[in-house]
Amino acid sequence: MTSHTGGSTWGRDAAIASLVLVVLALLPFAGDKGLVFLAGTLTLHVIIGLSWNLMFGRTGLVSFGHASFFAIGGYAFAWVAKVSPGLHPLLLLAAAGLFGAFVAFIVGVIALRRSVGVYFAILTLALGQIVYLLLSYIPALGREDGFTGIRRPRLALGVASIDLGSGDNYYYFIVVMCGVLAAGLWWVMHGRIGRVFKSIQQDAERAAFLGINIQAYRIGSFAIASGTTAIAGALYAPWLQLLTPEVAHWTFSARPILYTLLGGVQSFWGPAVGALVFAILEYGTRTLHGLSEIVIGSILLLVVLAFPGGLLGGLSRLVGRIRRNPPIAARSEIVR
């Protein structure tokens, strides 16, 4: 759908992004502290989902260890900020992202050598468990109690200096940074690299035959997605001011997968829609003991069984049916 036509969706996507940013910017004036906190967390989750879909929807890689990179970024940020305070927060974010991408690169070189598909999924699952266990037992990282007392830093920007610890400043910082990250992901997906990724996802053998180094591009996709998630993790650490090993647990790795498949694989905004719907479901059912899981699970099941293309895939088919012109792309993604 959107991916094949490249530039023509630029205007529409920019309009959607601006609208989302305006809503997020106005939110602190309309809602209370709790809502602002949820919105900040949701924004980070959107980045996790979007970056995961760079691997799955665009390159055909199923990573089941995405949360471990979120945790790696968060813990790296927290630890460096504690050991050498005074470093510029943007530098710290970049370092956390590069560290996450570096770990992904090393893992990718080894894991993607021969194994894709289910093997890659299970290998990344094993990686996730290793990270989870290490975080639970290393004393310097707080073990199972978690890494506590992570400060929100001061942001020095040339002449001005903003204290991210006061008011809603850190929330705005998250929104701006996530906007930058989402724009970066959009650019990667719709540029030349994105088209190479897409060709690998559609037919790896044929792509290799055309002279594309599929190995290198797969590693690249894995490293970009993981690095982006690591930055999201680094943004999350001072947001909650606490990190526990739970952020590396495999049930958290399942989140971006749920967001993507719930919202729709083919569309850029699919994971964002999925994350939003999931957050609403979670928030709406938070007081119901046990019913929360039943409701979320049933809705997920219903979406998978009734709209295998995700919510956006189902929507575009519905629109297509109204126009009496069913889009072929929406059909083919189900059969695939």
Binding site for another protein (CB under 8 A): 56, 62, 110-111, 113-115, 118-119, 122-123, 125-127, 129-130, 133-134, 136-138, 250-251, 254, 257-258, 261, 289-298, 300-301, 304-305, 308, 334, 336
| DSSP assignment of 61-118 | ---S-HHHHHHHHHHHHHHHHHHSTTS-HHHHHHHHHHHHHHHHHHHHHHHTTT--TH
| Three-class SS state of 160 | strand
Report which of 316, 265, 310, 197 is spatially closest to residue 328, judged by C-alpha positions.
Answer: 316
- The least CB distance from residue 169 to another protein, in Å, is 36
For residue 303, the minimal CB distance to another protein (Å) is: 9
**C-alpha closest to that of 266 among 307, 230, 235:** 307
CB of 259 to another protein, least distance (A): 11
Closest separation in Å from C-beta 219 to another protein: 15
Of 27 and 295, the one with the shorter C-beta distance to another protein is: 295
Q: Which is nearer to another protein, 241 or 292 (CB)?
A: 292
Instruction: List strand residue ranges (DSSP E) for the chain, in order.
Output: 147-148, 154-157, 160-163, 242-243
Between 40 and 271, CB nearer to another protein: 271
- The answer to whether 172 and 25 have CB atoms below 8 angstroms apart is yes
For residue 290, the minimal CB distance to another protein (Å) is 3
**Closest CB to another protein among residues 167, 284:** 284
153 backbone dihedrals φ, ψ, rounded to 5°: -80, 175
